[in-house]
Amino acid sequence: MSNQDNDTIIELKAVSKRYGFGDAESYALRNFDLKVKRGEFIMIMGPSGCGKTTLLNIIGLLDKASSGEYILAGKDVSRVSSSKKARFRAKEIGFIFQNFNLVPTLPIIENVSLPLIYSGYHKTRRLRMADNILEHFHLREREYYMPYQLSGGQQQRVAIARSLISNPSIILADEPTGNLDSRNSHIIMEELREIHSMGNTIIMVTHNPALTTYATRVINMLDGEIDTDIKTVDDSELPKGGKGEKVSVKVLSSRDPIKMEIQSESDVVVSGENVTTEDADVLVMPEEQPKTPAKKSTKKTTKKKTTKKKGAKK
């Protein structure tokens, strides 16, 4: 495995995010510098209003910095078109939210398959992929339940399944255990630990210091800046997801962003950044087995003769 497998995937250089004008101007982020290695599990902590969620939104291409430079997978984000940002976000970044953000009018299987709509997959294939990943999370028997019929822990597992349906290389989680009790929080963190062990990069915001034991790096923020930055694992010990590694929804493996290759019994090959909807919208259905005519029975049917007994009363 080459050393490039754990090179920098995210780099922020003097990034600032300003709101308001003049005397009312305030900073959510101020000259923020950050480098994220591929395969890191970063916990971001800090008081409310210190810029944690703003940071996640900028990294996830949901918001734009007021100034500074953002390098994502070796590319300057400011020079990337909006359509390519949207395509990268749909395929390579998974979001997990504190409030689950499930669509209340859709069954679980359709909630999970939603991100695949933006990738241009046929509905039949979307539902098949969602069925596979729900099986991984032991929720297959509830895939046609509505969100209100699930517990909080189950809804969060559905939200995680939805974030992984496109096999993203980066997972952004904003307080994923904030609305859960300690037992369900432990279950969710074990799921995230398993995902991270496959080589995915995870950046998670939390207020719970007890969860930092799962992280390879803990960053404390204060007033839009990094207050402390502590690595608990050496870069050489980070899980490695090789370039061009073959993955499928059934096996939640990691990939290298931009260059990707998905091959499985029902997947198509997608390679390179400029993937069109037509390239992705391929449905491979299992071959139908030829119907064989039913064998005719060789047994002779015999009619039973009914005879009247002598002396029988009419």
pLDDT of the residue at 136: 87
**pTM listed for this prediction:** 0.74
Could you tell me if residue 62 is inside a domain? yes
Q: What is the pLDDT of residue 241?
A: 63
Q: Give the model's pLDDT for residue 121.
A: 85
pLDDT at 23: 78
pLDDT in tens, the chain (314 residues): 334 444 899 999 999 999 888 778 889 999 999 999 999 999 999 998 899 999 999 999 999 999 999 999 888 998 888 888 888 888 889 999 888 999 999 999 999 999 888 777 889 999 999 999 999 888 999 999 999 999 999 999 999 999 999 889 999 999 999 888 888 999 999 999 999 998 899 999 999 999 999 999 999 999 999 999 999 998 888 887 644 343 333 434 444 433 333 333 333 323 233 333 333 333 232 333 444 444 444 445 445 444 454 554 54
- Domain membership flag for residue 137: yes
Amino acid (one-letter) located at 283:
L
Residue 11: inside a domain: yes
Whether 79 maps to a domain, the answer reads: yes
In a domain, 300, yes or no: no
What does the pLDDT read at residue 128?
94
Angle at 53 between CA 176 and CA 81, to 5 degrees: 110
Q: Is residue 294 part of a domain?
A: no
Region for residue 282 given its phi and psi (left: phi exceeds 0; alpha: psi -120 to 50; beta: otherwise)? beta
- The count of domains in the chain is 1
Does a structural domain hold residue 130? Answer: yes
CATH of the domain at 202: 3.40.50.300
Query: Is residue 205 situated within a structural domain?
Result: yes
**What is the residue range of 212's domain?**
3-280
